[in-house]
Amino acid sequence: MTVNEYCGSMESSILDFIFSLTDDILEKIQYRKLFYQEQIARYVQKQIDFFFNTYNLKTALLYSYKHEAYNTIMFKLKNHLKEHNILQCV
C-alpha cells in the first residue's frame, strides 16, 4: 500500500510539498541565501500560499491545512536553525 492510496492524493501531495520545501529551505540555508529566521518564516508562508492557491477548499479547511503545513515545516527546521546559527530579531 502506498502513501497515496492510504491518505488520498491531496494529502499525499501536501506531504510531498512539505518535504520538498523543507529540503529547499535547508539548501538555501546551507548556501546562505536565507539567514534570518523571519526571512525563512516569510518564505515558508509565501510558498504555502502559492501551493494552496491551486486547491478549491472551504476557508476554514484551507486555513487549517496552511497552519499545519507551516507548523510542520518550522518544526522540522528547528534544529537546523540552531545548528546553522540563524539570526533572530529579539
pLDDT in tens, 24-77: 999 999 998 988 899 999 999 999 999 999 888 899 999 999 999 999 999 999
Confidence (pLDDT) at 45: 97
If one compares 56 and 17, the residue with the highest pLDDT of the two is 17
**Residue 41 within any structural domain of the chain:** yes
Mean pLDDT over residues 4-13, rounded? 76
Q: Is 1 inside a domain boundary?
A: no
Question: Is residue 18 domain-resident?
Answer: yes
- How far is CA 28 from its chain centroid? 13
Q: In this structure, which amino acid lies at residue 34?
A: L
On the question of pLDDT at 14 being above 70, the answer is yes
88 contacts: CB under 8 Å, gap ≥ 6: 36, 37, 38
Phi/psi class of residue 15: alpha, beta or left (left: φ > 0; alpha: ψ in -120 to 50)?
alpha
In a domain, 90, yes or no: no
**Contacts with 5 (C-beta within 8 Å, 6 or more apart), sequence order:** none
What are the grid coordinates assigned to 40, written together? 525563512
Q: Is the residue at 4 inside a domain?
A: no
So what's the pLDDT on residue 49? Answer: 96
Residue 38 in domain:
yes
86: left (phi over 0), alpha (psi -120 to 50) or beta: beta
Task: Name the domain count of the chain.
Answer: 1
Within-domain flag for 3: no
Kindly state whether residue 5 falls inside one of the protein's structural domains: no
State which residues form the domain around 59: 10-84
Predicted structure pTM score: 0.87
